[in-house]
Structure 1
Amino acid sequence: GVSVLVRDDGQLGPHIDLQGRLSNYSLEPPTNGTHGDGVVGILGGAGNLDPTKKGMATGTDLYAIDYINDFQDLTLPLHLTQGVTITNSSYSDGCNDGYTLSAQTVDQQIFEHPTLMHVFSGGNSNPLNCEYGAGGQWGNITGGHKMAKNVIAVANVYADATLAESSSRGPAYDGRLKPDITANGQGQGSLDPNNGYQTFGGTSAASPGIAGCLAQLTHAFRTINAVNDAPSPLLKATILNTANELGNLGPDFKFGWGLVNTWRALQLLEQHQWLEGNADQNGSIEHTIQIPAGVKEAKIMLYWAEPPAAENSAKALINDLDLTVADGNGTVSLPWKLDPTPNPTILDTPAGKGRDSLNNVEQVLIESPGTYTIRVNGTEVPLGPQHYYILWEFVKDEIKVTYPAGGEGLVPDEVERIQWDAYGNTGIFTLRYTTDGGATFSTIANVGGDQRMYDWTVPNTVSGKVYVSVSRDTKSDTSDFPSSIVRVPQNLQVTNVCPYSISLSWTELNDTLSYDAYLLGSKYMELKGTTNSNFITMPIQNGEEDHWLSVRASHPNGTAGRRANAIYRPGGIYNCSVSHDLAVRKLLSPVDDIIVSCGPSLVTISIRVKNEGQNLTSGGTAFYQLGNNPPVGEALPDIPVGGALDFSFQTLLTLDLNGNVLLKTWVVLSNDGATYNDTLSHTYTVVSEGVNQFFTENFEATPALPIGWRFENPDGLIGWQTTDSLFFPVVGPDDLIGRSIHVNFFQYGPAGFGNEDYLYMIPVDLAGFDSPALSFKVAHARFDDTYSDGMRVEVFSDCDLGATPVTVWQKNDPDLMTVPDSANYYYPGSGADWRGESADLTPFIGKKIIIRFVSINGYGNSLYLDDIGITGFEPVQAEFVAPDSVCRLDTVVFQATPSTSDAAYAWSFGTAAIPGLATGIGPHNVTYPIPGDKTVRLIVSNSLDTDTMTQAVTVLSPATANFTAVQNGFTVSFTNTSSNANTYLWDFGDGVTSTETNPTHTYAGQDFYVVNLFATNICRTHLKSLTLGLTQVNNLLESIGIRILPNPTSGDFTAELDSHIAGNVQLSLFDAAGRKLAAQETRVKHGITRVAFENLHLPKGLYQLNVQTDGKQATFSVVVQ
């Protein structure tokens, strides 16, 4: 199945529509709210109770956690460990909040994990003014994380595709297209807790609709391509490119790319109408596509998942790719382009065509068949190469009936909405139906060519051969498979429940019909039998279990009606007599789940046996069995009707092992009529031998709490537990996310002030040790100086838990805290939060001991433990050798100098390193895609010691050569504008060279000289060349002062002449190759004269402006950038 995560308001359910498919990871109780239930019902409710309330993807495996806007929770761990590929968050995160840290986080998660997709509600904030600048009808997407580039934000429409008034509108803060797509959310029926239903709406309901569509397409992609995972960027682009047009032609800021059409998306995937490639800086990749005859529209889309931008970036797009499509004559079609100017009229204007430099998705519309060339240009790809997808959809003048598609159980006199897909809005659609498999058709209605749905009152008939047809002119389509029309059985009642059967009755509909009866199975309502009457008895496995039952009308000719709403029958025998029934109702002894001793122990086994039959029980036998050992059986006395007996076996159980053992108890009665209640089994953890070697427990294995370890919670409130129960990831002492032990003082409450909770270690045998020590890591934040938590470590000598323990370690706040005070719930975010501690165990050498950690609640903040073990002291040392400067994208090898044999190595390679973290001594191959100063940190630790080494590494970009030149006669002053270089070599073109940074050089005479500058750093040597045309100045500057404004320029500039003479002046502009580009003549007199050079559309580069008058001349450099 496809795994989907609902991030919402607490635990979901209980509801049988989620039977067997829901895993609640939320810390909030089911009573916290019903919003999440509404979301999950639309996404994946099975319709077990009410078959009309099915969700979009009934086969999904569903996970639920609490919504946290920073996404630093179980989202990524569930993706990595449970295969969750789609998440839904129907929560707001501000309004038009820009590219926040949460937007950066979700973009990064999708970019780094390309099978993961986040789906968000677009928001219900229209007409709220969120300061986009165009008033209250625009720019009110409620995010935050919804502003991210790689995610999907969803708009909301009514069932007739009318935009809901409250649906938030784009653009995104930087002008990008938001929302991305539209779904029907308004007026949905969905789940309520405790097997109820509610009316649910808003973009909160539209978003899980899209998540469900993606789940269907994920399943389809896996099936079509025989793979385990589907690339989420491709699936996102698929639903965008195949969406039905809504609103203005092309994309718009109300509906995004339009109304989702999963059927058309499926066709695109089945026909493999997509390809993928990579684009780099200034690269151009071409693909050829053949648009066949008969195609009315070809929609060609380019999509790429973007690297995350910096937090609060003014523009989110980093890698800018551009899509064009050219026909055989060279005519180029450009993609849609919206104008995000904050003006209501402009924002509501249909999209034009042009180069898009804001979005990571572009679409070109082609309306003629033929051979076309698709070109992808890497216009700006600083973090390349950039992987991309190209998809195409061919829209033909065809009709497709999408509902009913076949298999539906239609009910007479109910209104069903017929829906179809078609091209164009002209003509008249004729809707017809047949009840005889197509032999004859009856007209339903004629509707306009702009309609795509019609509400039809189902006729009062019975048939299993119902088809619906839609036609226009010569085009038509009929539903693919037959549907049925028949009424729903009423007045369902459970008439009796016996140990192995249950009987159901209902009001008969028609004496020619049969009926199919259903019981709720592990996930869905399952067919259990068919009858020609209005009564059925179905087999069950256990009469004491709860059951849900339903029935539908059917007929051998294929009629299969809609199931009736399921009815509930609580567990227990009902209207059924059981003659003899002997049941084991309780395992009385052993009581504790963990049995710990420092040697073999004898245990009494006791059970409670009850006579639940109608007669005296006589001749019964009780048994117990440990694992695969031989069973122990003893005779039971007679037990009267309704009587209960607490029975203790005379044969004691010997426990002399370490491990988990299954204890099975049961009774045997020869004529027992219900054997499902004869047996009780329980798994115990048994420890009868202590550990006699050094060890360190990091709690990462299974089970989470190792055998022999146990928690004790005397007050029944909050106590020690593993961090598996938390809704956020905990970073351990090794700087990696993992499992630890913790106690939640933050929520313990003042009622438990001073209360103690216990963590017991497995018994330890210190025989043969020289200098044993207890080592452990602790992480803790105090709330403030008003609340003081504490912890101590106690030792029970000789494994005697009844004796007074010896305290070997104790700290209270502030000595216990490892990080500064925190007013929020604390959890370790890095290895630096942890501190190593140890306690001397030499007084207990030769003894068998039990060690207990005692938490002391001060209503402060959370306390964490990890890496608990028995060890001897051995110091560690962190050391490695690495270069202090490296080049961007070069591979750097890091390897630690070996330390102690039990040392652990945790690396952090600095910002944006790939990988960012690592463990182990190495070697580790690391690359840095982004230049700058990085800090590499190595933490080496064992159970009693930790050492850290850091080194600064500067990541350099390649050297880039550049310079400008200013002439004064034959003397030229060169200004070096190179970047990232540290050495330079000049070749002035006349045989003379220089290594100065900004040299001045005098040439022998007038000529054209090619000047070369070689700029070098450790990454590369780069060349910049410039051709100088030198002419004699002839003291022109003594008569006329000349300035170029501005210089450098973006293209246009003005020559300002401050003249001390009167006369004609000629001005000529040359490019670097000496070609004359423009010339002007003006007359000067005393004072300032300005000559403008405009609209020349000069490319970036260096140009020469020659000025002449009365036999004198001078040349000036003009820089265009």
Structure 2
Amino acid sequence: MISLRTILLIASMIDALLLCTNALAQEKFSPKIKSASHARLAQQIQFSVAVRDPQKFKSQYQSKVVLVDFYETTRIFRISSSIDFVVHAFAADKNILFVDLLTRPHVESRNSTLNTALNRINKAKQLRPALRGHNMMISIKEQSFDKTDLDLRGRTVETSESPRVVSEHATAMATFIAGIGNTSEKGLGVANEAIVTASDFSDIFPDDVAYFDDYNILQQNHSYGTSIENYYGNEAVSYDEQVYSNPDLLHVFSAGNIGNSKPTAGDYHDLNWANLSGNFKHAKNVLVVTAIDTSLNRNPMNSRGPTFDGRVKPELTAYGEGGTSDAAALVTGMTALIREAVKNKTMPTSAALLKALLIASAEDVGDEGIDFTFGYGYINLWQAVQDVEQERFFNASLNHDEFKQFTITVPENVRELRIATAWTDPPSTVNALQALVNDIDSYLIYDEQKVLPWVLNHFPHSDSLSARNERRQDHLNNVELISINNPKAGTYQLVLYANLVSSAQDVAVAYSVKSADLAWDFPAMDEVIEADTRVKLFWNNPLDQRAAISMKLNEGEWNTIVDDVAEGETSVSWVTPDTLANASLRLEVGGKIIESPAFVISPRPKLTVPFVCDDVFALSWSPVAGASTYDLVTLVGDSTTVVRRANDTLFVGAKGANHFYTVQPRIESKTGLKADMINYNMQGSNCYVNLFSAYRFDDVSNKVEIHLSTHWNVSRVTFFLVDDNGMLKALDTQSPGKQKYFTFLDEHLTGEIMRYTAVVELVDGTRLSTEIVSVLVEQKNRAILFPNPADEFVTVLSEGDGGKLHIVDRQGRYLLSFELGTRIEEIDIARLSPGLYYFQYERAGNVTDSGRFVKL
């Protein structure tokens, strides 16, 4: 029996806990303000301030702080002031809800690479060529991208929100999202018919709704971060409110690249978890993305969850070897294609539905099930497209305390059933201890069994945060995932229950039934893969036993390329042969043969510019073995067009408006990889002569040399000596063959200056003369000073090695003396006053030459 004393003690402990909780909930200064260094206390810096009554705040403080901006929907001011003033003035002000120190954002990857195989983007686009994100407006919030970039031509719109500063990072993100591939396939984005526009991330709060409405923008990419900010701050509230008020608007954020950092405040302080870069990434209604490479490995620098209150962030994973920025851009492009697919069904495309579709169709990665590192899995775009086409999604609305039941039919031969429920939740109170407002509970019923969603342990300990997921009710997240491996065919009942603060809540549900049949995912149909390159081959399901892979080139024999693929694998690494060929692969497992679609293996040609003359230019490229012909491609307007189908590897054309060219080999009716597109004017090529020079080679000779840009059409090269009257004396004539470099040693040294030129004669008789170049030649026992007059330095030409030069004034006084070690030496005469001076050249103790010069 419990004593009265014990009961009172427990009651007092509960009261203390409640007091502590209320104090935490009402804390109005962010950890960044409380931990600011003493040196920053008086500095003028920017803050965000959430208030109850904006007019009252404005009238009370507009003369004391600088009001920079105001976000009406969330009643948040951006101000400039000092920490000293803010802490003392705002602490007791009940009108002020929360104050945060604004942090300058930074981009989150530097070395961007594009891979569209892992997330099955290639397969989706090859099998559904109409999915291109046609004319969908996508905003990129950071700095501006290069609107003249060849891969973004005709696909950009400038607005009043576009930043002035252009960055390579923003250009890479824009290219990943919507590049049109003019330069090569490396510049082909995910939604390559979308239109991109830029918005400035110097203000990290959401852009005004009018910006999105005026330009019909429904998606915005955010590949940047700030620092670890583990709280439900002003930015997080603002993004949640914006999406709640505009439910079709989707914000995609990179998780961050500060995975080696630990929080210094909050529940997860000093743990190597919960290091998302920015409190806006703790918003419920945005999509946060992390990255993996093609081997499904995570870079330790990638940030991971959970959020401040234990929710699952990041939600999804995509390829991003250069960082989570790249992954976010790919996901922004993929969501555009899914939105387009849903629109083709004439159905609404809320952000919650897009989330649900991508999560339901995703593939598990890392430890089995959901986790705080990879979220709900990595995106499988092809599976998501199929789910949309089969209409495996629906929208519903629930009132408080209401149950609703929905039927889901599962066919035979299904590897996995995944059901994602997502909703756009109302914003919570700023700095709330828990962000979720409306709680939707989901569970699945089949054969009188109740299957609950997957939930993670968010207790602040590394063992808990890395523990496997378990099935139980979720009261934290506004996304819930239920999955069943190898489900029985039949009818399942999805039950949703609403525990709401608001009167009603819209909910999006998507489900994916993944076939157990084995199929190739990469290479996709008509894929072009670079020769002599290590690539990853992908298929859709884990192998249930060991397997082998063989290859056939050009209707030849099947040859084994990988003789032992381990059980459970969904990919294997392979180095492509160095050839141009039509190819097929087959996967042999358990007596079954799964043949891939036909694809092309192609070397990448290298395009060079032999010459650029006044009226004509030439392009040449390395021959590709097996090529039947070559397509020469130029840029006309915003897109490329074939200007010539060639049998050889040289093109000579008249100069015109088009300066950009590339070439690609053909094999039968298919094309191989493009060479990287070049501007022939920017390759350093001249009109046949790239370099002509002459210089002193040794004691008895001058060396004259010429580098031609090409030997094509050249008949001969002649070297000439030019006398003082400009007359030419032929020294040597050479025929090129396939040679492009020619030299001549002139051993007849005369005079002080010897001048040389060369003439390149073409087959048609055209003569191209080089410039005239000079070589200074010393004379025995003599010294030559130049320039004359001279300023601070004068150059001496002599035999060097043992000679001396003396500077003498008009009274015969020796002022300066120099040892001459080389034929040409520059001597410092800055200390001399302006005027006329004499010099004496001495060798072996005798003055052998003299002269005069003027010092300026």
What band does the TM-score fall into relative to the shorter chain?
Answer: 0.5 to 0.7
Q: Distance in 2 between matches of 1:553 and 1:117?
A: 41
Identity of aligned residues (%): 24
Give the conservation status (yes or no) of the 8 Å contact 1:529–1:538: no
Aligned-partner residue type, residue 457 of structure 2: D
Aligned match of 1:560 in 668, 671, 689? 671
Q: Within 5 A, what are the aligned runs for 1:949-960?
A: none
Q: Within 5 A, what are the aligned runs for 1:316-465?
A: 316-327=435-446, 329-367=447-485, 368-423=487-542, 426-437=544-555, 440=558, 442-463=560-581, 465=582
1:488 matched residue in structure 2: 604
Aligned match of 2:378 in 259, 267, 291? 259
Structure 2 SS opposite 1:104: helix
How far the C-alpha of 1:475 sits from its partner, in A, is 5.0
2:845 matched residue in structure 1: none
Q: Within 5 A, what are the aligned runs for 1:921-960?
A: none
1:569 maps to 2:680: yes
2:706 matched residue in structure 1: none
1:182 maps to 2:330: no
* Higher helix residue share: 2
Report Cα offsets for 1:57-89 as digits up to 9, x if no partner. 332211112114543535x33421222222111
Q: 1:406 to 1:511 in 2, by over 3 A?
A: closer
Q: 1:485 to 1:124 in 2, by over 3 A?
A: closer
Q: Within 5 A, what are the aligned runs for 1:261-280?
A: 261-280=380-399
Aligned-partner residue type, residue 630 of structure 2: Y
Q: Distance in 2 between matches of 1:270 and 1:451?
A: 28
Q: Within 5 A, what are the aligned runs for 1:93-112?
A: 93-112=226-245
Give the conservation status (yes or no) of the 8 Å contact 1:17–1:47: yes
Between 1 and 2, higher relative CO (CA 8 Å, sep ≥ 6) is seen in: 2
1:235 matched residue in structure 2: 354
Q: Within 5 A, what are the aligned runs for 1:131-142?
A: 131-134=265-268, 135-142=270-277
How far the C-alpha of 1:505 sits from its partner, in A, is 3.8
1:479 maps to 2:599: no
Q: 1:448 to 1:382 in 2, by over 3 A?
A: same
How far the C-alpha of 1:426 sits from its partner, in A, is 3.7
2:660 matched residue in structure 1: 548
Q: Distance in 2 between matches of 1:121 and 1:429?
A: 37
1:533 matched residue in structure 2: 648
How far the C-alpha of 1:450 sits from its partner, in A, is 3.0
Structure 1 SS opposite 2:241: helix
1:300 matched residue in structure 2: 419
Report Cα offsets for 1:545-577 as digits up to 9, x if no partner. 35210111113x223110111110359xx999x
Aligned-partner residue type, residue 209 of structure 1: L
Q: Within 5 A, what are the aligned runs for 1:278-289?
A: 278-289=397-408
Q: 1:549 to 1:63 in 2, by over 3 A?
A: same
Give the conservation status (yes or no) of the 8 Å contact 1:322–1:356: yes
Q: Within 5 A, what are the aligned runs for 1:623-662?
A: none
Give the conservation status (yes or no) of the 8 Å contact 1:519–1:526: yes
1:207 maps to 2:328: yes
Give the conservation status (yes or no) of the 8 Å contact 2:408–2:494: no
Q: Distance in 1 between matches of 2:588 and 2:223?
A: 39
Report Cα offsets for 1:667-698 as digits up to 9, x if no partner. xxxxxxxxxxxxxxxxxxxxxxxxxxxxxxxx
Structure 2 SS opposite 1:446: strand
Number of corresponding residues: 548
Q: 1:537 to 1:274 in 2, by over 3 A?
A: farther
Report Cα offsets for 1:254-290 as digits up to 9, x if no partner. 1101111111111111211112211111111111122
Structure 2 SS opposite 1:213: helix
Q: Distance in 2 between matches of 1:68 and 1:308?
A: 24
1:57 maps to 2:191: yes
Q: Within 5 A, what are the aligned runs for 1:19-34?
A: 19-25=153-159, 28-30=163-165, 33-34=167-168
Q: Distance in 1 between matches of 2:595 and 2:623?
A: 32
1:248 maps to 2:381: no
How far the C-alpha of 1:405 sits from its partner, in A, is 0.7
Aligned match of 2:630 in 507, 510, 515? 515
Q: 1:376 to 1:384 in 2, by over 3 A?
A: farther
Give the conservation status (yes or no) of the 8 Å contact 1:321–1:376: no
Structure 2 SS opposite 1:86: strand
Q: Distance in 2 between matches of 1:352 and 1:179?
A: 18
Aligned match of 1:90 in 220, 223, 226? 223
For structure 1, which segment, 33-42 or 157-166, has the greater mean C-alpha deviation from structure 2 after superposition? 33-42
Q: Distance in 2 between matches of 1:476 and 1:361?
A: 39
Q: Distance in 1 between matches of 2:302 and 2:642?
A: 42
Q: Distance in 2 between matches of 1:72 and 1:304?
A: 20
Q: Distance in 2 between matches of 1:140 and 1:274?
A: 33
Structure 2 SS opposite 1:234: helix
Give the conservation status (yes or no) of the 8 Å contact 1:133–1:343: no
Q: Distance in 2 between matches of 1:54 and 1:493?
A: 25
Q: Distance in 1 between matches of 2:553 and 2:453?
A: 47
How far the C-alpha of 1:504 sits from its partner, in A, is 4.2
How far the C-alpha of 1:544 sits from its partner, in A, is 5.5
Q: Within 5 A, what are the aligned runs for 1:5-24?
A: 5-12=139-146, 14-24=148-158
1:71 matched residue in structure 2: 205
Aligned match of 1:128 in 261, 264, 275? 261
Q: 1:444 to 1:366 in 2, by over 3 A?
A: closer
Question: What's the C-alpha RMSD, in Å, of the aligned pairs?
Answer: 2.9
Q: Distance in 2 between matches of 1:44 and 1:422?
A: 30
How far the C-alpha of 1:537 sits from its partner, in A, is 6.9
Report Cα offsets for 1:594-652 as digits up to 9, x if no partner. xxxxxxxxxxxxxxxxxxxxxxxxxxxxxxxxxxxxxxxxxxxxxxxxxxxxxxxxxxx
1:314 maps to 2:433: yes
Aligned-partner residue type, residue 566 of structure 1: M
Give the conservation status (yes or no) of the 8 Å contact 1:102–1:145: yes
How far the C-alpha of 1:398 sits from its partner, in A, is 2.4
1:225 matched residue in structure 2: 345
How far the C-alpha of 1:21 sits from its partner, in A, is 1.2
Q: 1:277 to 1:491 in 2, by over 3 A?
A: closer
Q: Distance in 2 between matches of 1:454 and 1:309?
A: 46
Q: Distance in 1 between matches of 2:306 and 2:531?
A: 46
Report Cα offsets for 1:1038-1062 as digits up to 9, x if no partner. xxxxxxxxxxxxxxxxxxxxxxxxx
Q: Distance in 1 between matches of 2:368 and 2:450?
A: 20
Structure 2 SS opposite 1:316: coil
Q: Within 5 A, what are the aligned runs for 1:472-871?
A: 472-474=589-591, 476-480=593-597, 482-493=598-609, 504-510=619-625, 513-536=628-651, 545-555=657-667, 557-570=668-681
Give the conservation status (yes or no) of the 8 Å contact 2:607–2:663: no
Structure 1 SS opposite 2:339: helix
If the length of structure 2 is used for normalisation, what is the TM-score?
A: 0.60
Aligned-partner residue type, residue 553 of structure 1: P
Q: 1:406 to 1:502 in 2, by over 3 A?
A: farther
Q: 1:538 to 1:247 in 2, by over 3 A?
A: same
Aligned-partner residue type, residue 559 of structure 1: K
Report Cα offsets for 1:862-919 as digits up to 9, x if no partner. xxxxxxxxxxxxxxxxxxxxxxxxxxxxxxxxxxxxxxxxxxxxxxxxxxxxxxxxxx
Structure 2 unmatched ranges of 5 or more: 1-133, 688-856
How far the C-alpha of 1:474 sits from its partner, in A, is 4.8
How far the C-alpha of 1:511 sits from its partner, in A, is 8.1
Structure 2 SS opposite 1:279: strand
Structure 2 SS opposite 1:399: coil
Aligned-partner residue type, residue 220 of structure 2: T
If the length of structure 1 is used for normalisation, what is the TM-score?
A: 0.46
1:468 matched residue in structure 2: 585
Report Cα offsets for 1:36-74 as digits up to 9, x if no partner. 233323333333224334333332211112114543535
